[in-house]
Structures are given as C-alpha cells and as structure tokens.
A = this chain, B = another copy of it.
Amino acid sequence: MRRRDQNERQDYNVKKPPEELAQKLLAISDQLTGTDLDVSVDEIAKMADVPRATLYYYFSGKEDLISFFLSDKLHRVSVAIGKAMAGEGSVVQRLENTLTAVMEAMAEHPALCTEMPGAVKEAAKYTEVVNEAERVMLAPFRELLIEGKASGELVIDDVNTTAIALLGAVNMVALFQLVQTGTIDVATTNAALIPALINGVAPR
C-alpha cells in the first residue's frame, strides 16, 4: 500500500471535522476494534451514516481517518494514566498504578494494543498518533523512571529503553490475552505481570 511514493499528497487533514461529524464518527469508534485494515472507508461511512465523499472532504485519506479514531482513544485514556502517574504514593506505587492504568486502557480500547505496534512500524504514516502514544503511554513511564532514578527509589540503567520495555511487556501480554480470550482480565493479569516487571525474575 505504498501509493504515496511519488505524487505526494498531504498527510494531514487541513480542515478539522466539525463537531457533529466528529460525534458521529466517535459514536461508532468502539465498534471498530480491529481498526486498521479490516474496515473500508465505505463501511465507516455507512456506519456513521455519512457520505463517503464527506469523509474525504475532511480527512486526507484512510490513514488520517484511522488516526482520528486512535487519537480519540488515546485522549480518552490519557487522563487516567496521567492521574496514576502524578498521584499519591511512592514512585514504585505510582509506577504500579500507571502499569495498571495502561493495562486498563488497553482492556477498554483493544485497538490501543492491537494497532499500536503496527502504527509504530509505520511511524512515517502515523506520525501524529505515534507522537500522541508516546506522550500518553510512554512518557509517564519515562518520567517515573527518571524520578525514581534520581531519588534512588529505582535502579535503572537506560531510562528510555526501560520505559519502552515496560510498555512492550504490557502491550504484548494484553495482546495475547485479547487474542486468546477475547478480553483482558486486568486484575489477574496485573497480579502476575507487575511483580515481574518491578522486581524482575531473579530472587532477591
């Protein structure tokens, strides 16, 4: 699907979709679990009861449309994750809370864990979404790690790598759960996952 190689087109949408259209689209957003390639623009148009031409009027293409959905999901979870990160408690406690919040976000919006690796892979196309994901899901980890490293509450070599590893671990575990069982059992999964991430696998 590399049709943009020559004949460059704008990757971003010039016009912002008006509120009403945005509402209609967001209303069907949750039905789009396998958000990426399984749904045609035509289907989206039908579901939202919007002419296809209108979608192309407001969005520069399918990628832009998909980005809109993913961005929405990221926005919706950003507050919870931010709260977990900035809340009360020790750094370790907040790190645990944040891991939980991310897992909950993925449980609630499966596309976040099913599509994000694909978006990262094609970061060139999904610049916006990847940046946003970085802000919402990765930055909190990184900041906690920085804080913990500074205060001695955590022992970390490379903060950035470690943050990515944490997100990757949560993402993959969530993805497996999702594929195998259809949903994510946040409580049970986190009980197994978080200690492994915080304490490692070597005995203390």
Q: Which residues of the partner chain B approach A179 to less than 8 Å between Cβ atoms?
A: 120-121, 123
A164–B155 touching, CB < 8 Å: no
Give every chain B residue within 8 A of A164 (Cβ-Cβ).
169, 172-173, 176
Cβ of A89 within 8 Å of any chain B Cβ, yes or no, is no
Q: Cβ of A120: which chain B residues have Cβ within 8 Å of it? A: 175-176, 179
Q: Is A18 an interface residue (CB 8 A)?
A: no
Considering only residues 74-122 of chain A, those with a C-beta below 8 Å from chain B are 92, 95, 114, 117-118, 120-121
Give which listed residue, B92, B162, B173, B200, contacts A168 with CB less than 8 A.
Answer: B173
Count how many chain A residues have C-beta atoms less than 8 Å from C-beta atoms of the other chain. Answer: 51
The reply to whether B37 and A157 contact each other, CB–CB distance below 8 Å, is: no
Minimum CB distance partner of A117 in chain B: B117
Other-chain contact of A167, B148, B172, B197 (Cβ < 8 Å): B172
Interface members, chain A 112-155 (any B CB < 8 Å): 114, 117-118, 120-121, 123, 145, 148, 152-155
Whether the pair B173, A170 counts as a contact (CB closer than 8 A) is: no
List, in ascending order, chain B residues with CB within 8 A of A153's CB. Answer: 202-203
| Contact A161–B193 (Cβ < 8 Å) | yes
A198 touches B201 (CB 8 A): yes
Which of B114, B173, B199 contacts A202, CB < 8 Å? B199
Decide: A1 and B37 in contact? CB cutoff 8 A: yes
Of all A-B residue pairs in the complex, the 10 with the closest CB atoms, nearest first, are A168-B172, A200-B200, A158-B192, A117-B117, A165-B169, A161-B192, A199-B200, A169-B169, A155-B203, A168-B168
Other A-B pairs beyond A161-B192, A165-B169, 17, CB < 8 Å: A34-B121, A118-B121, A120-B176, A123-B179, A153-B202, A155-B203, A157-B191, A158-B192, A164-B169, A165-B172, A165-B197, A166-B169, A167-B172, A168-B172, A196-B200, A198-B200, A199-B200
A-B CB contact pairs (8 Å), 9 listed: A95-B201, A117-B117, A118-B121, A155-B199, A155-B201, A158-B193, A161-B192, A162-B192, A164-B172
